[in-house]
């Protein structure tokens, strides 16, 4: 009988610590281009939910176009960028969007997006769900926020 009383609280604690069913976005920021009018880039951490998902789009309010990209080094030591149609987000993992790797290119960023402001990001997934984040805007030469 006493074992039930000891085990039941353990199940309750385990249930409270289970991963979110939906993906979560944090540490989001947008680095403005050094040359006005050129594309900016968005970076963030995307934490997978309870099941595997596929990121298919990132929309940013006021931005004309956003594209998923990946930077990589070629065999001859040159850097290049590839457009991505989607990004797999395995369950309970973190997918990093960072300089020199996966990122979101932002074309037609509004003039109101200046260092210190924020831009809302909406990440859309193949199953129709979405996740939201507020991205801090930083200047081209600024240190990335923590």
**What residues contact residue 101 under an 8 Å CB cut-off, 6+ apart?**
70, 71
What is the CB-side half-sphere exposure of residue 51 using CA atoms within 13 A?
6
- The CATH architecture to which 19-138 belongs is Sandwich (2.60)
Is a pLDDT exceeding 50 seen at residue 113?
A: yes
Residue 144: the pLDDT is 93
Is a pLDDT exceeding 60 seen at residue 143?
A: yes
Output the six-digit token pair for 60. Answer: 């940013």
Q: How many whole angstroms separate alpha carbon 21 and alpha carbon 18?
A: 9
Q: What is the pTM of this model?
A: 0.84
Kindly report the average pLDDT of the chain as a whole number.
89
Q: How many whole angstroms separate alpha carbon 136 and alpha carbon 8?
A: 43
The full 3-state SS of 76-110, as one line of letters, equals: CCCEEEEECCCEEECCCCEEEECCCCEEEEEECCC
């Amino acid at each position: 009988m006493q074992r039930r009383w000891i085990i039941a609280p353990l199940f309750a604690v385990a249930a409270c610590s289970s991963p979110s069913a939906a993906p979560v976005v944090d540490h989001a920021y947008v680095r403005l281009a050094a040359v006005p009018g050129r594309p900016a880039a968005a970076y963030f951490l995307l934490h997978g939910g309870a099941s595997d998902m596929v990121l298919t789009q990132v929309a940013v309010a006021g931005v004309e176009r956003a594209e998923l990209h990946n930077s990589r080094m070629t065999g001859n030591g040159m850097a290049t960028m590839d457009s991505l149609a989607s990004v797999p987000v395995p369950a309970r993992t973190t997918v990093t969007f960072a300089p020199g790797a996966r990122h979101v290119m932002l074309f037609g960023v509004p003039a109101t997006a200046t260092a210190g402001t924020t831009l809302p990001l909406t990440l859309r997934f193949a199953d129709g769900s979405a996740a939201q984040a507020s991205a801090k805007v930083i200047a081209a030469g600024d240190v990335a926020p923590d």
